[in-house]
């Protein structure tokens, strides 16, 4: 394999690739129990992370810029069929994606969901947990619902168009790492994350692959043991501030600007947090939700939708999920911090 592939083992298991990828863009990362078929295209900042479970991908897989593939710890792997295309900033999380599926930009597929062969998932759609989408349809919305049957040849046309958009990003540079102050030694920063400006990360914080934290002329503060998951983009406006409390999770591919997140909160996968949003302690924002500027998410509730609205009181299962995620992510971070140090020392090839 080429030296510029960013392959990292997890718990002694390294990714297995059937052949050299057709393309591997800057800032990509492949971690852990991954097996991929031939002729993969891995765009800038794309992440496949198979730490707490495994990922299997078929041949001719296209991953767009900052696309994220992950698993559910000890619960669900991610299985991806042949000739699948996953667009820019899309997420496939602990799910099953059949042959010839097309997942367009910023779409999200969640835990236990199944996309049968021949699904087109439109941009910005969200497939919620354990849903099953039969093939032959275009799906859109949050939650994703059938929009209409695919026309003859439409799947091939949309796949070709999405792949063309992905290929146009080849050669794009990766952001610079430019911290104003060094971080605490216990903080894990993944080797493709980018941090710029005034960032204050407290003990055991973990910041994952492809993340871009840009404090600009403001400040980003992250409380103890909190995590910012793969390909999340945090940016302050001039003089602004992002503050994340203790034991909170910012899920994969979240976008947020100046805001405050309390203790023991969860910001769901693919959500968008508008300027001046405030999460009170113990609040939960569902995947794919979008907050309104200045919105307050009150404590003890699940929020979701566009704009986010109060959906239900937090039950014990969701409270437990928040707690368990912190424990799991600290363990992931400990192992990968060790692996990255070995790789930097030349013991493990990247």
The whole model's pTM is what?
0.95
Report pLDDT for 3.
55
CB within 8 Å of 345: residues ≥ 6 apart: none
DSSP 207-227: E-TT-EEEEEEEEEEE-TT-E
Three-class DSSP category at 127:
strand
For residue 33, the tally of other CB atoms under 10 A from its CB is 22
Q: Quote the pLDDT of residue 333.
A: 96
Six-digit token pair at 133? Answer: 């989408």
| Predicted local confidence at residue 348, as pLDDT | 39
User: Quick check: 199 and 216 in contact, CB under 8 A?
Assistant: no
Distance (Å, rounded) from C-alpha 306 to C-alpha 272?
10
Write down the pLDDT at residue 272: 98
Measured CA to CA, the distance from residue 3 to residue 250 in angstroms comes to 31
Measured distance CA(24)–CA(48) in Å, rounded: 12
Find all residues with CB under 8 Å of 260, minimum gap 6, and list them.
Answer: 241, 242, 243, 244, 277, 278, 279
Compute the CA torsion angle 89, 95, 100, 103 (nearest 10 deg): -20
Torsion, Cα of 272, 278, 284, 285 (10° steps)? -20
In the chain the domains, ranked by start, together with CATH numbers, are: 7-167 (2.160.10.10), 178-344 (2.160.10.10)
Q: Are 14 and 31 in contact (CB under 8 A)?
A: no
Q: From CA 62, how far away is CA 331, in angstroms rounded?
A: 30
Among 41, 52, 23, 87, CA closest to 331: 52
Contacts by 136-145, CB closer than 8 A, 24 or more apart: 142/288, 142/305, 142/306, 144/107
What is the model's pLDDT at position 350? 40
State the residue for tokens 């309104």: 292
Closest to 139 in 3D by CA, of 117, 119, 110? 119
Give dist(CA 268, CA 259) in Å, integer.
15
Burial (Cβ within 10 Å: 0-12, 13-18, ≥19) of residue 113:
buried
DSSP element (H, E) containing 259? strand 259-261
Task: Give the pLDDT score at 347.
Answer: 45
Q: What is the pLDDT of residue 136?
A: 98
Mean pLDDT for each consecutive 10-residue tract of the chain (350 residues)? 81 95 96 97 97 97 98 96 98 98 98 98 97 98 96 98 95 76 90 95 97 95 98 96 98 98 98 98 97 97 95 92 95 94 60
For the record, the structure tokens of 258 come out as 């100046």
């Amino acid at each position: 394999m080429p030296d510029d592939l960013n392959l990292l083992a997890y718990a002694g298991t390294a990714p297995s690739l059937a052949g050299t990828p057709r393309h591997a863009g800057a800032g990509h990362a492949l971690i852990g129990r991954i097996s991929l078929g031939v002729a993969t295209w891995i765009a800038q900042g794309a992440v496949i992370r198979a730490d707490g479970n495994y990922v299997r991908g078929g041949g001719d897989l296209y991953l767009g810029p900052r696309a994220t593939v992950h698993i559910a710890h000890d619960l669900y792997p991610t299985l991806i069929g042949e000739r699948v295309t996953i667009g820019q900033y899309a997420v496939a999380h602990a799910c099953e994606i059949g042959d010839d599926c097309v997942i367009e930009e910023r779409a999200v597929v969640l835990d236990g969901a199944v996309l049968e062969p021949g699904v087109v998932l439109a941009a910005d759609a969200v497939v919620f947990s354990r849903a099953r989408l039969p093939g032959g349809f275009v799906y859109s919305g949050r939650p994703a619902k059938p929009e209409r049957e695919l026309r003859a040849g439409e799947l091939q046309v949309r796949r070709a168009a999405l792949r063309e958009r992905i290929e146009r990003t080849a050669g794009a540079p990766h952001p610079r790492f430019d911290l104003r102050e060094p971080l605490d030694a216990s903080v894990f920063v993944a080797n493709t994350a980018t941090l710029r400006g005034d960032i204050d990360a407290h003990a055991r914080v973990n910041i994952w692959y492809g993340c871009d934290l840009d404090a600009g002329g403001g400040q980003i503060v992250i409380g103890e043991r909190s995590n910012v998951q793969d390909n999340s983009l945090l940016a302050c406006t001039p003089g602004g501030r992002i503050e994340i409390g203790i034991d909170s999770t910012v899920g994969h591919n979240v976008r947020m600007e100046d805001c405050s997140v309390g203790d023991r909160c969860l910001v769901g996968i693919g959500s968008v947090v508008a300027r001046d949003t405030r999460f009170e302690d113990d609040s939960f924002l569902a995947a794919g939700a979008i907050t309104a500027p200045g919105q307050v998410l009150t404590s003890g509730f699940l929020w979701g939708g566009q704009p986010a609205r109060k959906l239900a009181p937090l039950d014990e299962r969701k409270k437990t999920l928040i707690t368990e995620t912190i424990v799991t992510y600290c363990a992931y971070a400990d192992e990968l911090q060790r692996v990255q140090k070995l790789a930097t020392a030349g013991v493990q090839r990247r």
